[in-house]
A = this chain, B = another copy of it.
Amino acid sequence: MKWDEVNKQQCSVARSSSVLGDRWTLLILSDCFLGVRNFDQFQERLEIPRTTLASRLQKLEQHDVLYRKQYQSSPDRFEYRLTDKGRDLYPVLSTILNWGDKYYSDEAGPPILRRHVSCGHDIQPVLQCPECEKTVDAHNVHARTRPQSGAHPDVSRGPIQRRA
């Protein structure tokens, strides 16, 4: 299957991956959350080839993750900003940051700090069950396909979340 047909799969991860699962895309979005808005600023911070950057920004705009907002005329210039849909990717970037902090940061600690404005602490957000408010991870969530959803059926052996 070609990559650009992945979004037709009946799976939310597949459809999301067709937007996010590309070289550079997650890094571009990370910079968006850090306030970067202009083409050259993305390019300099990421050292991404300009052609690649242009095509990624265009793709993210087409998928309504970013939008172009004019910030001057003559010559017309645009900056890239997160849409609501884009801002809803915050949990994705935040959990990726958590994982990177855990496995790839040096003794001095993580390079980016996140302060929870409400309580003032530097935090690493965690996943929580919205019903019972306990913290959740792979071991206490059981995934299954909804019948008639058109998704691939469950693997016969079943999920492996509860392995030691």
Contacts and interface: CB of A to CB of B under 8 A. Distances in A.
Contact of A33 (B14, B16, B138): B138
Nearest to A157: B35
Given A15-B104, A35-B154, A119 B143 contact: no
B127 A12 contact: no
Contacts of A36: 155
A25 B16 contact: no
Contacts of A45: 152
Interface pairs A-B: 3 shortest CB-CB: A12-B100, A128-B128, A111-B149
A27 B12 contact: no
Interface of A: 1, 3, 6, 10-17, 20-27, 30, 33-37, 41, 45-49, 81-82, 85, 87-105, 108-119, 121, 123-138, 140-146, 148-152, 154-155, 157-161, 163
A13 B25 contact: no
Contacts of A146: 108-113
A41 B153 CA distance: 12
B126 A128 contact: yes
Contacts of A140: 116-118
A34 B159 contact: yes
Contacts of A15: 100, 104
Given A35-B154, A37-B160, A109-B146, 10 more contacts: A13-B96, A13-B100, A16-B96, A21-B24, A22-B23, A33-B161, A37-B157, A94-B95, A117-B140, A125-B129
26 contacts: A1-B47, A12-B99, A12-B100, A12-B110, A12-B111, A13-B26, A13-B112, A15-B104, A21-B27, A33-B160, A35-B157, A37-B157, A45-B152, A81-B163, A88-B99, A90-B137, A94-B141, A95-B95, A108-B146, A111-B146, A115-B144, A116-B129, A118-B129, A123-B136, A125-B127, A125-B136
